[in-house]
Chain A
Amino acid sequence: MLTNREKEQILISSGVDVRKCMRCGKCTGTCPAYDEMEYHPHEFVYMVEKGEIEKLMNSSSIYKCLTCFACVERCPRGVEPAKIIEAVRLAVIRKQGNNHIKAEDIPCMAEDDDTPGQLVVSAFRKYKK
């Protein structure tokens, strides 16, 4: 079981006030990762509020967010759901041995001659600690 302390950590890390959410679903409606997500942006906000954090931490949804900021821009309440998703992902990958992408995954990308450095550093930043 995750303690309240861990929920607190996600709230602090994200800087999000989950209580501001009015559950309109606009964030989820605008999310370009919708089809690939098991839990959607509004569910992240709700489930963190309820303390159902373990389910989120174990879901591949944390790796599907594109950091496109559409939900951040379009939420009528300024909740900024992407920040919650990022905080949950960090709570996972910050743990020893939990990198989602490893350096070995990179050589195959380097073979592809056009791969921009931007892709490699961005993926590392989002998936690896």
Chain B
Amino acid sequence: MIFSYYPGCTLKTKAKELDAYARRSAEALGITLSELPEWQCCGGVYTTAEDEIATKLSSVRALMEAKKEGHALVTLCSACHNVIKQTQYALNTDDDMAFKVGNYMQCDARAEADTKVIHYLELLRDIVGFDELKKNVKNPLTGKKIAAYYGCLLLRPSSAMQFDNPENPKIMEDFIRAIGATPVIYPMRNECCGGYITAEDPAMAKKNSTAVWESAKDFDADYIITACPLCRYNLIKSESPLPVIYFTELLAEALDVK
């Protein structure tokens, strides 16, 4: 099965392992991720302003490229996923936005960008299926207690993301079970690490991130997994005593393709 794939800029530089493990694991599960022939950085964070058009165009182009390729679009970085999904949601719900974007792109933007967008975790849940994933596990991570860190961007705003229950998600916990480990549910799993504030106010980022890993530690996790390079960076910078790793690394380990 072939899917278009939008890796995002950070996965080409500082988060290469997030990408490499994802591709290898997908192959092992019979899925081909075909990188879009052309894509640009999504900008990292969605601009909510309704009079901001230019900042949304790289996402529109990615959606249109995938539509041309004829495949659903898979994302991996939480931030890319959020920006692309929110852009598509704005196109679909805001006539004025659709009109203005269409003027820029010289096309019917709403129609040409109506590609199905799924995050890699949704690919595992909805296309592969967690039961099927479980059958493919060669190296179950038995006995490991893992804290899934959702952060903000996979879940919110749920109107656009439609990812999981935004206050009580379970997709990552189901993933953890499928690879044979034990999920740790802790209160801060869907609260913010501080994100880009680390460039503006590092002490504030440190405070927010520390609250996240402390919460995971209080609930006895062995380590924390994430889909977001910035979450990982912030948690590590705040001196998390728990290792913080990408979920795709555990997946590759479980599938024995690491």
**Nearest Cβ distance between residue A105 and chain B, in whole angstroms?**
8
Does A14 belong to the interface (CB within 8 Å)? Answer: yes
**Inter-subunit contact A120/B14 (CB<8 Å):** no
Chain-A contact segment, one of B24-32, B48-56, B174-182: B48-56
Interface residues of chain B: helix, strand, loop or mixed (majority): loop
Contacts A66-B192, A118-B44; is A13 near B199 (CB within 8 Å)? no
Cβ contacts under 8 Å, A44 to chain B: none
Cβ contacts under 8 Å, A126 to chain B: 45, 196
**Nearest Cβ distance between residue A64 and chain B, in whole angstroms?**
7
**Inter-subunit contact A109/B230 (CB<8 Å):** no
Partner among B45, B51, B55 whose Cβ is within 8 Å of the Cβ of A12: B51
**Inter-subunit contact B191/A32 (CB<8 Å):** yes
Interface core residue of A66, A82, A126 (most chain B CB under 10 Å)? A66
**Nearest Cβ distance between residue A116 and chain B, in whole angstroms?**
4
**Inter-subunit contact B157/A127 (CB<8 Å):** no
**Inter-subunit contact A127/B49 (CB<8 Å):** no
Chain-A contact segment, one of B117-125, B200-208, B215-223: B200-208
Contacts A12-B51, A14-B49, A86-B48; is A117 near B195 (CB within 8 Å)? no
Residues of chain B at interface, number, CB under 8 A: 47
Taken residue by residue from 43 to 66, chain B's Cβ proximity to chain A (1 for < 8 Å, 0 otherwise) reads as 111111111100100000000000
**Inter-subunit contact B156/A70 (CB<8 Å):** yes
Residues of A within 8 A of B (CB): 12-15, 32-33, 35-36, 63-64, 66-70, 72-73, 80, 82-83, 86-87, 90, 100-101, 105, 109, 114-123, 125-127
Q: Known pairs A13-B50, A35-B207, A90-B49. 8 more at Cβ < 8 A?
A: A15-B94, A67-B195, A67-B196, A118-B44, A119-B199, A122-B199, A125-B44, A127-B199
Residues of B within 8 A of A (CB): 8-10, 13-15, 41, 43-52, 55, 77, 79, 94, 152-153, 155-158, 166-167, 191-192, 194-201, 204, 207-208, 228-230, 233, 236
